[in-house]
Structures are given as structure tokens and as C-alpha cells.
């Protein structure tokens, strides 16, 4: 059986207010080589030896300056 290794994290940032759910989407720069102008969740790569949860929190802070009130992991790989 093959082993699947994922070195990328995605962070789905949302808030619930007045029975509504709002999601944060970021638009990639038009200068990006891969997927320019793409709307996406906060995402990034794991540094060498870094755990996925640590990378997710780091990327969230680097890209938005936000700190989560709650944080949980979904056992899912986006393809």
C-alpha cells in the first residue's frame, strides 16, 4: 500500500453571528506562478519537521494576523 504524504495545510476561518456564518477567503496575487487570482482559504506548506497543527496556526498568523478562539482538526486531505 502506498503512503500518502501531505505537506500543505488549509485553514478554514469562519465566524457565526446572528444565525449567519461568514468565511474568510483570500485572493492570491496576480503575480503568482501557480493559480494566480485564485480565491482560497488560508494555506501554506509545512516547514521541515513541523507538525501540521503548528503550520496551520503559523500560516493563519502570517497571512492574517488573526489568532483563533477555537481550533480543531478535520481528518481530511483536500485534493
| DSSP secondary structure letter of residue 37 | T
Give me the pLDDT at residue 1, please.
87
pLDDT in tens, the chain (79 residues): 888 788 899 999 999 999 999 999 999 999 999 999 999 999 999 999 999 999 999 999 999 999 999 999 887 777 6
For the chain, the domains span: 8-64
CB 1 within 8 Å of CB 8 = no
Is 70 in a helix, a strand, or coil?
coil
The region that residue 31 occupies, defined by phi over 0 for left and psi between -120 and 50 for alpha, beta otherwise, is: alpha
Q: Can you give the pLDDT at residue 78?
A: 74
CA distance 5 to 61: 24
65, three cell numbers: 494576523
Model-wide pTM > 0.85: no
Question: For residue 71, what pLDDT is reported?
Answer: 93
Amino acid at each position: 500500500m502506498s503512503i500518502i504524504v501531505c505537506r500543505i495545510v488549509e485553514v478554514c476561518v469562519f465566524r457565526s453571528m446572528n444565525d449567519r456564518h461568514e468565511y474568510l477567503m483570500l485572493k492570491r496575487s496576480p503575480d503568482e506562478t501557480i493559480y494566480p487570482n485564485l480565491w482560497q482559504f488560508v494555506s501554506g506548506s509545512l516547514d521541515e519537521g513541523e507538525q501540521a497543527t503548528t503550520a496551520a496556526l503559523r500560516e493563519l498568523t502570517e497571512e492574517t494576523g488573526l489568532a483563533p478562539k477555537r481550533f480543531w482538526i478535520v481528518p481530511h486531505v483536500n485534493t
